A and B are shown apart, each in its own frame.
Chain A
Amino acid sequence: MSAAFPIALASAAILSGTSLLYATLGELIGERAGIVNLGLEGLMLIGASTGFAGAAVTANPYLGVAAAALAGVAANGLFSYVVITRHANQLAAGLSLTFFGLGASALIGRPFVGAIVPGLPHLGAFDLLVWLAAPLAIVLSGLLYRTRWGLTLRAVGESPAAAFAAGRRPDRVQYEALAVAGALGGISGAHLSLAVALTWDEGMTAGRGFIAIALVIFAGWNPLWAVIGALVFGGAESLQLQFQARGVDVSPFLMNMVPYLLTLLVLTFSGLRGRSAAPAGLGRSFFGVE
């Protein structure tokens, strides 16, 4: 293998890791507020199709990304209402959101199958979303650990009852957190369709949403660790393409399994390490004072 291999691999890892990072950061914010969202896969699909459609209609990829973010907020708003206001089971509601995303994105994207869209332009080596990804992790880390809003959000995730007793509104904070998560999930999907694949295909996220949920656990609910996790998994994903480009004879089906197997392995090791980092109120419904 030539000397160019590590460089090509690294740049491919950064490109496909970016989408994972946005999704992971979104899920992380929601989970810090005590809400597990298994609908991330659906959010990404909605983002990918809306972003692609938006870019095709307006001929401006940035407007596509903005549309994707808004669509993500709207779709996650539906999820928020069901789990926060109606106290529905978070896991079941999240899966419903994934089904919703599968169907809605198929409808949104259908007129644009095979369309040619302007992809996100490169600024230097990468597009704008790549450059913004790691700084965003730092900003979110600052928001979580250095601001009043972040303190409230983490308190709600640990103990909604305590936060409520201290005069906060857990439901409002959770709505805000899920709005941020929805926007990031939408952007993550849009990066996939507008920068990585440059096409829309039904179900194109192929389980990346679930991998991102696992990455949150891997990152120990810390935005900065999520950057490293996303890079590792982006690398695992792009390994296949790099092998193919160099004519290494491995079945693409076996290579496609690597990210999922790696995720299971990482989850197992995270489990061995202990789960002390998880927000204590994760997955529970808060009913206020009764």
Chain B
Amino acid sequence: MPREAALARFGPAASAARRALIVAVAASAIFALLLLIDGKDPVRAYRDTIVYVFANAYGFSELFVRMSPLLLTSVAVALPSRLGLINVGGEGQLYMGGLFATAGALGFAHWPALALIPLMTALGFLGGALWALLPGLLRAAKLVNETISTLLLNYIAPLIVSYVIFGPWRSSESASYPESPAFAAGARLPTLGSTRVHLGLVYGLVCLCIYGFAIGRTRWGLEMRAIGGNAEASLRLGVPVSAYIIGSMAVAGGVAGLAGMAEASAIQGRLVAQLSPGYGFMGFLVAWLAGGSAVGILTMAALFAVLSSVGDVLQITQGVPFSVINLLMAAILFIVLGERGAGGRR
């Protein structure tokens, strides 16, 4: 049965590509419609977008800047999803990663980059992991559903960040706009040439590869998929279900925390109240649309990087509010959910 073998091998990638196509077409059509309603010229808008994003080296490099956090936050959703867990807390985990990494950057500012960057990376992972550990524990103890607890924690994490940058970590230089003191040079993630593409992209790609390998080729992955298939049966077979729930949530949170560390260290160079324009939520969409496959995540993250760049360009050139992006994402999700739901029982 070579055809079925080929389907099993390339099926996920092919369906991800097909879905990416649907998403791209639907997104363009809906955006065009919205622009028309708003009295704008969609053709001009698309020409602007192509000129600013694709026919321009800097604009093109910005796609990778957006893709880096998306890769990390979508792995943070995809990993627990293999156990049937829904981690919608990427946004909060990202903020906690940024918070912990900042503690390292400010506390050990005189360290050389070779020591400080690894420390901040570890702290960023730790911050996100701790923030996801609580929902993991509550779920493993069968007390609180992880969907609702991670959602609630999303609202608390940015408040903690605001608390420290308005209070103990407030920079004395910026009187009007609260932010932490600027990081020392050794606390900044290296970037590529004159662009803003930073080492976080490597973090994202490495995490994605490890994720793909762990799920597909290791005993851990097999047992995680078994739990996702039938938790009760797995438990009877001696799989430590609770340990997997807690562990996968913590690791997922840590990965999202890395995104926060990279945003603070490479993009902002300090801790700010608006660390992320919703990368945690976008990561959820990316992972969901990709169906958890590593290749799918790469494709969808690239697509969402394009979408959010388009949103930025249109905001600047056409005065469309950035939140319209949310409308677009919802439309895409509804289309894919409706299409998929009719076929399977997901």
A residues engaging B (CB < 8 A)? 38, 78, 81-83, 86-89, 91-93, 95-97, 99-100, 102-104, 106-107, 110, 202, 206-207, 210-211, 213-214, 251, 253-254, 256-257, 260-261, 263-264, 267-268, 271-272, 285, 287
Contacts and interface: CB of A to CB of B under 8 A. Distances in A.
A207 B148 contact: no
B103 interface: no
Contact of A88 (B138, B151, B285, B340): B340
A88 B163 contact: no
B86 to A, nearest CB: 6
Given A260-B156, A268-B138, A271-B142, A253 B163 contact: yes
A88 B328 contact: no
Interface of B: 34, 86, 88, 138, 141-144, 147-149, 151-156, 159-160, 162-163, 166-167, 281, 284-285, 288, 321, 323-331, 333-334, 337-342, 345-346
Given A86-B342, A88-B338, A251-B166, A267 B149 contact: yes
Contacts of B345: 87, 285, 287
B327 A264 contact: no
A134 to B, nearest CB: 26
A202 B152 CA distance: 19
Contact of B337 (A92, A103, A202, A263): A92
Contacts of A95: 88, 284, 333
A104 to B, nearest CB: 6
Given A103-B325, A214-B152, A253 B159 contact: yes
Contacts of A207: 151-152, 154-155
A106 B152 contact: no
A267 B329 CA distance: 30
Contacts of A103: 323-330
The 4 residue pairs across chains A and B that have the minimum distance between CB atoms: A103-B327, A271-B143, A88-B341, A100-B330
B326 A257 contact: no
B147 A104 contact: no
15 contacts: A86-B342, A92-B333, A93-B333, A93-B334, A96-B337, A99-B281, A100-B331, A103-B324, A107-B327, A207-B152, A211-B152, A251-B163, A253-B166, A261-B156, A264-B152
B55 to A, nearest CB: 28
Contact of A96 (B147, B323, B330): B330
Nearest to B152: A260
A78 B323 CA distance: 20
A15 B77 CA distance: 37
B83 to A, nearest CB: 15
Nearest to B34: A107
Given A82-B334, A96-B337, A106-B321, A206 B144 contact: no
A10 B154 CA distance: 29
Contact of B341 (A87, A102, A268): A87
* A97, A104, A210, A287: residue with the most chain B Cβ atoms closer than 10 Å: A210
A113 B308 CA distance: 24
Contacts of B329: 96, 99, 103
Contacts, number: 131
B327 A251 contact: no
A213 B340 CA distance: 26
A140 to B, nearest CB: 22
* B328, B338, B346: residue with the most chain A Cβ atoms closer than 10 Å: B338
Contacts of B167: 251
A260 B155 contact: yes
B225 to A, nearest CB: 18
Nearest to B86: A91
Contacts of B326: 99-100, 102-103, 106
B328 to A, nearest CB: 7
A202 B323 contact: yes
A96 B166 contact: no
A211 B281 CA distance: 18
A261 B281 CA distance: 21
Contact of B321 (A100, A110, A213): A110
Contacts of A287: 345
A246 B143 CA distance: 38
Nearest to A104: B327
Nearest to B321: A106
Contacts of A81: 338
Contacts of A87: 341-342, 345
Given A95-B333, A103-B329, 16 more contacts: A86-B338, A93-B334, A93-B337, A99-B281, A102-B327, A103-B324, A106-B323, A214-B148, A253-B160, A253-B162, A264-B144, A268-B143, A271-B143, A271-B144, A285-B341, A287-B345
Given A251-B167, A267-B144, A271-B144, A106 B338 contact: no
B281 A267 contact: no
Contact of A99 (B144, B327, B346): B327
Contacts of A91: 86, 147
A260 B331 CA distance: 29
Nearest to A96: B333
Contacts of A263: 152
Given A86-B337, A89-B346, A92-B337, A106 B86 contact: no
